[in-house]
Structure 1
Amino acid sequence: MLEGSQTQDIISNIEKNPALNHLIQLADKLVDIGKSVPFIAPAFIILKIIIDIEQKARDADAKCEDLLERINFMVSNITVLEKVEAIDPLKVVIEKTISTLKSAASLIQAYRKQGAIARRLNMSNSQNFVQMAQKIMACSQDLMLSLQIQQTGDLSVLSRSVPVDNQDKEAEIFVSTHGGQSVINCNPELVEKFAEKMQLTMSDQVMDQMQLNVGDILEENQSRIETLLKENSSNAIADTIKALAAEVREREAEQRLTCLQCGKEYREAANGAGACSFHRSPEIKGTFTCCGQKSPCAFSNHRSVHHCEYPYTSFFDYAYGIIGYGSTIDKWAEVLETDMATNIDQYASVGKLIRWTGYHEEITQPLMIIRIGRVNFGSSYYFQVLDVDAIKSVNAIVRQTGKTLIFRTVQDESEYSMGEWTLDDAGVINGVVLSSKVATSDTATVKTVPINIETVSLSGEVQTLSQSRFRVYKPAEPYTFPGIRHVGHIARDTPLREQREFKARTKLPLIVIPQGKMQANSGPFMRGVGENDQFEGTLRIFNKALPSSEAYVTLVSCTAHYRLVGDKEYKDVRSLSLGNTKFPVSIAPTQSVDISFGAYIHRNAVQVALDEVCRGWAMIALHHPVRIRLTFKDIEDQEFVFVQEYVHDPRDYLVAKASNDILFLQIHDVFSAHRSVMRIKKGDEGSDTIINIGEDRKLSVEDLNLIVYEAEQTGVTEVHLRDRDSDLFKWDAWALVDLSCRRVYGFKVLLMQGSSRSKKTTAALGYAPCPIYGEGNLEERPIRYADEKLLFPELEPEEVLNVVSDDDVDDDRVVVTAQAADPIIAIATAASSSVAAAISEVSKATNSLDAAVFSSGVATLEKKLESLGADVTSGMATLEKQLGSLGADVTRMATALEKLVDLLSH
């Protein structure tokens, strides 16, 4: 007779196995279908056999779970029979399905009878599961075809591989490397060796299991199943399945909780040892430190509340979400000590929990959080959030046991972190004592924190019972330091001189008005970065001829050349762009045109090798101003030449010394315009930082004490702190220790050229005093300077820098003759740029005048200008009388001319 376990006993195993749960539901459905289709009765009897085997299993097995899921898929197709009218033609495929179920039940039974060692070492097990998976796939396909089922679900359950874990792989390697299956089956020593490797226990039955023929066992099981089918009543089995399914459904209605260790839902009725599987360490890039595998490596019962009894992955996310933000805890007290030899902290704290993580809403319920030790995988720690009820529960345990210890990281007396409850006379918790000690301190730091457990709040002042301190002494006199030593060129921080302006050279009636200074490498897109310097500017070219002359100027080309001040000849630029200007360009009398240009100049070989991107400045102009000469030609091949100059201005990008810099060192590469800077500055007021070295090294009092401790241990008082080595520069910093006063009294910094400079030609060495630190009335001691070993490095001679600021090559001026323009224009050309501006105003004023009226007025103006002499005022009066007849429209022109005449009279 088939003997099933009591329903109540098997529920817990069913809850842990979703595939088994599903199988029971399918069996229950087949019982209902069997009432109208009797020939499927063997199917649900076999399913009951499989259910009994699996519910009795003591351990989860991936191969069995996989096989159950395949069986579920196959059997779920049989449930379609309740909708099929013609049943008889389907008997053949149903019989094949029942036969497949018999084989599956036989395999599960044979596999479960083997111990863990035999399962791994018997290679036929994996082969049998693979063959069974193939049988179920073929049978499922026949069922779907016969029942005309259009499968829209996931077929991967049939096509996927049978699971193979790392232990299977290691067993396969072990068998193949030790002579094969037959050798292993007869060699207890080898089997025991494998068991030790897998950390499994060797029993007396293992060798018997190894020597059994699995094929024979399968046949025996099949025969036994046939016998069971004949001997057992399908009605009795159906009743058992119905009762089991009903119990499962009843348990399904029980409240489900979410386990915080594995993230799965569970019911307390199905909870127990081993129900939950998880990793013990945080996940880092898809792997786990605890085991290095993806499969869980730890097992316990499900937990719906976070705890710190043992580590699990989600706990670290939970804890770091709290301690990773400054807005989550209102700390009432903390103790922190750092071992100076190992740099390992001992830490404990207690406070009020405000938020569960950063940016959350504040918690309304009063909660206290106690943290002892560092929350890291592999470390010993306590991290617990307690409400009123939790504290009272703890109080009850303390009263019963008399044990007030909350947690202690280690039992070692030389170093530990610890928390203890304090009790009042009535035995009620009224505070927490926090302690921390390291091996390099003589005493522990101990603080007592009074709390009110009814309100979960701080009930008084925190008292420091003892404090571990590193004793320092006050220097009897100020420390003195050498001055900064610097070898090498120093780049200018101001321009060589002011930029010069040059007059256009031409016989054409043109004048040029630059629209601002010429810029270098100012565009967002620079062609040939690292090889060229680009100079850009805009020129406004004005035709100063009178409208009556109809002297149009048509420019047909433009070329550009450059010269470094100090050179005698101009050279071709590498390329020239003129923006949107397209030649020919015609300029009417009293009209102007704006022409933008961009001239690209190739750097010399040394500068190209530096491959420097210069935004807003030009490398070729570092020590020599650059002049760009633009030559325009008109349609009659007459030239119009204009020179514009660029003088390097370094002030925009050089780093300046700040007000809180204690030391500011700099070295210069005058050939690339780089200035490398290293600075030491005081820490910000109110912070724990005493000194900042470079951009990212901050030193607190604890850091300085650690430096002194190391110096005392080694005897080296010039302590190397760190260095930084880049392509352009390298710096090293040392702390100078006074062993008499047990303090760092200064810092020494050496700044040199970096690894990209094979020839070291410049360096700077400087000292920075350390601010006096230490609390209370310090005992005074005589000072003792550090024994300095570092010397200023030997450097190679630096090239002599050739700087040329100006020359007279472009100083000659071409005077424009009266033949090239009207008299008023000849006078204006000889004038300054202010006159040019006045002429521009005259031109604008004449634009609105009638041509005939304007010609008549200008003719009169020309006669008056020829007679200009000492009495400019009289000429101006006569001029105004002549212009008065021109009407109201001439008023603007007269104002402009008055300015012009005033200029000409000086």
Structure 2
Amino acid sequence: MLEWVLSSEGVIVGITITLKMTTSPIPLSRFCPIDITTATLSSEVKTLSRGSWLSYRPSTPYVLPDIQRVSGAVLREEPLREVRKDFKTRTSPNLPVLLKVTSDPPLVAKAWNPDDQFQGSISVFNRCLANSNELISISSVSAFYRFIGDKKYKPVKLTEILDGVILPVSIDPCQSRTFNFALTVPRTGPDEKIDERWSGRPSYLIAHHRPLRFKIALTDVEEEECSLVLDYVYPGPKSLPLAFEQDLAFISIDDPFAMYRWGIHVAKGLPGTSENAITIKDFQNFTLDTNRMKTIVYNALQSGESEIDINIGREKDEANFVWWSWKTWALVDLSCQRLYAFKFLLTKDILGTKGFACLAYVACPEYGEFYDETRPIQYAAETVEFPKLEPYIPDTPLPDDDLDDAVPDAPKATAAAITSTSAVANPSAQVAVAEPEELKQRLVSIDNSLTHIGDNLSKLPSIENSLSRLATSFEQFVEILKAKESRGDKDNN
């Protein structure tokens, strides 16, 4: 509405502009002074009434309900224990090789839905002497796995030798060959149903709570086998979402199966928004400015409802890689005519009484203008309740066992010449060991010589007596010669 304003002399001195909005209890009114002779402003525009939505100040502070949550325990971001690297080569006597893990860590997990894949590398060292010409030909590689606590190994789903290596592969004496491999392990039980490919986030699952052991077995062309055990311990989730410094609140649930934290941030006055605007964010920003909050309160007063679904949230949508759900409600105090809190419900994989959820409240900071009058608070009549879920009780993980701790027997030298222990550490230091047939012949010869020496040693006392008698006879013979010589000299005289 426009009204002319006249002076006492009846001259037009300005215009009053009045605007009444449905959501405003009082109109917006402003006076525009004008110079009627030039039709221009003669001074500044004056506000007669603001005409905005005003709230009443609460007579007592709001007390919000405590957070409710059924979630996994706070995710451990460190490994359960250190990866073991102390396992020794196990090999048959006729396959003189030394296996060594060359990848660090020994195994790295990769996501290959619906299975999990583990990659690593080992070297195979031929322990035969350099001059023996004994080649070792690896004709096949297989792998087995078990969880810590299990008593038996099971075959992996798939064993792959990478880098285009085609078996069989021959290894010269005192030389080694490195094999890069990939082992595919099927998911079982609840893990089999999880298919969460999130950009930048690993989704390997089976070893999250229980370390894995793999046994790599290599076979030569004569079906002789050697093996080595490799240990895998989940290193812990990386880059879990955390609260930002500017957050009013960070609401989350920890998923112990996907090993991920799902959460939303609530902040005020972020860059690019107005001072009192509220921003709610998962991987996208949702902003409520002051005008929208006033509109929410007006609609609540019109409908009489005080728990208002403000259509901010996200529904689970596996086709677009959204694996959880969350919704937001505004809680309105109908007495004080203001939005006093936001209510959030986060849910994940709820089926019956199983699943994870979090119900949390965040106080709404002050916004807009207030009447000078205070009123008693009136809490919202809430209808959305926390889902009825069973508590999640995690299993206690077994960090290690001793099934693979037995020290393997050292292989005997029967098939080829092998190096000594020092020669394994330093291939240039070699110790010659005879071939089987030659060794047998030498042992027989040594046995005969020892028997002959024993027989001779048994005859030593009789030999000693004979020598003594011979020495006595020789002495007597010398005395006789001396006597004859003495008589000959006398006759000549």
TM tier, shorter chain? 0.5 to 0.7
* Matches for 1:131-170 after TM superposition, within 5 Å: none
- 1:606-661 per-residue CA deviation (whole Å, 9 max, x = no partner) reads 43333444863422222222222110123443322122222223422633332233
The reply to whether residue 481 of structure 1 matches residue 64 of structure 2 is: yes
The reply to whether residue 618 of structure 1 matches residue 204 of structure 2 is: yes
**SS of alignment partner, residue 620 of structure 1:** coil
Indicate if the aligned counterparts of 1:534 and 1:601 stay in contact, CA closer than 8 A: yes
**SS of alignment partner, residue 779 of structure 1:** strand
Task: Please state how far the C-alpha of 1:683 moved relative to its aligned partner.
Answer: 3.3
The reply to whether residue 584 of structure 1 matches residue 168 of structure 2 is: yes
2:55 — aligned with what? 472
2:405 — aligned with what? 811
Amino acid in the other structure paired with 1:607: D
Indicate if the aligned counterparts of 1:476 and 1:780 stay in contact, CA closer than 8 A: no
Larger fraction in helix: 1
Indicate if the aligned counterparts of 1:625 and 1:645 stay in contact, CA closer than 8 A: yes
Looking at structure 2, the residues matched to 492 and 432 of structure 1 have their Cα atoms a distance apart, in angstroms, of: 67
Task: Please state how far the C-alpha of 1:561 moved relative to its aligned partner.
Answer: 0.9
Which of these residues, 318, 321, 330, is aligned with residue 735 of structure 1? Answer: 330
Indicate if the aligned counterparts of 2:349 and 2:356 stay in contact, CA closer than 8 A: no
1:660 — aligned with what? 246
2:287 — aligned with what? 698
Amino acid in the other structure paired with 2:120: G
Which of these residues, 58, 72, 75, is aligned with residue 492 of structure 1? Answer: 75
Unaligned runs of 5+ in 1: 1-412, 421-430, 451-457, 829-838, 847-854, 860-906
**Most deviating of 481-490 and 592-601:** 481-490
Task: Please state how far the C-alpha of 1:501 moved relative to its aligned partner.
Answer: 2.1
The reply to whether residue 781 of structure 1 matches residue 374 of structure 2 is: yes
Indicate if the aligned counterparts of 1:690 and 1:771 stay in contact, CA closer than 8 A: no
Looking at structure 2, the residues matched to 677 and 449 of structure 1 have their Cα atoms a distance apart, in angstroms, of: 54
- 1:139-167 per-residue CA deviation (whole Å, 9 max, x = no partner) reads xxxxxxxxxxxxxxxxxxxxxxxxxxxxx
- 1:400-420 per-residue CA deviation (whole Å, 9 max, x = no partner) reads xxxxxxxxxxxxx5xxxx9x9
1:130 — aligned with what? none
The reply to whether residue 520 of structure 1 matches residue 109 of structure 2 is: yes
Task: Please state how far the C-alpha of 1:673 moved relative to its aligned partner.
Answer: 3.8
1:613–1:440: structure 2 CA closer, same or farther, 3 Å change rule?
A: closer
Indicate if the aligned counterparts of 1:744 and 1:770 stay in contact, CA closer than 8 A: yes
Looking at structure 2, the residues matched to 666 and 629 of structure 1 have their Cα atoms a distance apart, in angstroms, of: 39
* Matches for 1:138-537 after TM superposition, within 5 Å: 437-441=20-24, 442-444=26-28, 446=30, 467-475=50-58, 478-490=61-73, 492-494=75-77, 495-507=79-91, 508-517=96-105, 518-521=107-110, 526=112, 529-530=113-114, 532-537=115-120
Report how many aligned residue pairs link the two structures.
393
Indicate if the aligned counterparts of 2:159 and 2:181 stay in contact, CA closer than 8 A: yes
Indicate if the aligned counterparts of 1:520 and 1:617 stay in contact, CA closer than 8 A: no
Amino acid in the other structure paired with 1:470: W
**SS of alignment partner, residue 237 of structure 2:** helix
Amino acid in the other structure paired with 2:102: P
Amino acid in the other structure paired with 1:569: K
Amino acid in the other structure paired with 2:98: L
2:181 — aligned with what? 597
Indicate if the aligned counterparts of 1:817 and 1:826 stay in contact, CA closer than 8 A: no
Task: Please state how far the C-alpha of 1:571 moved relative to its aligned partner.
Answer: 0.6
Amino acid in the other structure paired with 1:805: P
Looking at structure 2, the residues matched to 573 and 763 of structure 1 have their Cα atoms a distance apart, in angstroms, of: 35
1:432–1:658: structure 2 CA closer, same or farther, 3 Å change rule?
A: farther
Amino acid in the other structure paired with 1:553: I
Indicate if the aligned counterparts of 2:68 and 2:359 stay in contact, CA closer than 8 A: yes
Unaligned runs of 5+ in 2: 5-13, 35-40, 318-322, 432-493
Amino acid in the other structure paired with 1:567: D
* Matches for 1:837-852 after TM superposition, within 5 Å: 839=426
Greater relative contact order (Cα < 8 A, sep 6+): 2
The reply to whether residue 717 of structure 1 matches residue 301 of structure 2 is: no
The reply to whether residue 553 of structure 1 matches residue 99 of structure 2 is: no
- 1:88-111 per-residue CA deviation (whole Å, 9 max, x = no partner) reads xxxxxxxxxxxxxxxxxxxxxxxx
1:449–1:793: structure 2 CA closer, same or farther, 3 Å change rule?
A: farther
1:581–1:705: structure 2 CA closer, same or farther, 3 Å change rule?
A: same
Indicate if the aligned counterparts of 2:89 and 2:98 stay in contact, CA closer than 8 A: no
Looking at structure 2, the residues matched to 794 and 499 of structure 1 have their Cα atoms a distance apart, in angstroms, of: 40
Looking at structure 2, the residues matched to 641 and 698 of structure 1 have their Cα atoms a distance apart, in angstroms, of: 60
**Most deviating of 704-713 and 797-806:** 797-806
- 1:196-247 per-residue CA deviation (whole Å, 9 max, x = no partner) reads xxxxxxxxxxxxxxxxxxxxxxxxxxxxxxxxxxxxxxxxxxxxxxxxxxxx
1:439–1:812: structure 2 CA closer, same or farther, 3 Å change rule?
A: same
Seq. identity, %: 32
The reply to whether residue 687 of structure 1 matches residue 273 of structure 2 is: yes
The reply to whether residue 764 of structure 1 matches residue 358 of structure 2 is: yes
Looking at structure 1, the residues matched to 241 and 368 of structure 2 have their Cα atoms a distance apart, in angstroms, of: 33
Task: Please state how far the C-alpha of 1:568 moved relative to its aligned partner.
Answer: 1.0
Amino acid in the other structure paired with 2:214: I
1:476–1:578: structure 2 CA closer, same or farther, 3 Å change rule?
A: same
Indicate if the aligned counterparts of 1:667 and 1:675 stay in contact, CA closer than 8 A: yes
Indicate if the aligned counterparts of 1:509 and 1:821 stay in contact, CA closer than 8 A: no
Looking at structure 2, the residues matched to 472 and 693 of structure 1 have their Cα atoms a distance apart, in angstroms, of: 23
Looking at structure 2, the residues matched to 737 and 634 of structure 1 have their Cα atoms a distance apart, in angstroms, of: 77
Looking at structure 1, the residues matched to 17 and 138 of structure 2 have their Cα atoms a distance apart, in angstroms, of: 89
Larger fraction in strand: 2
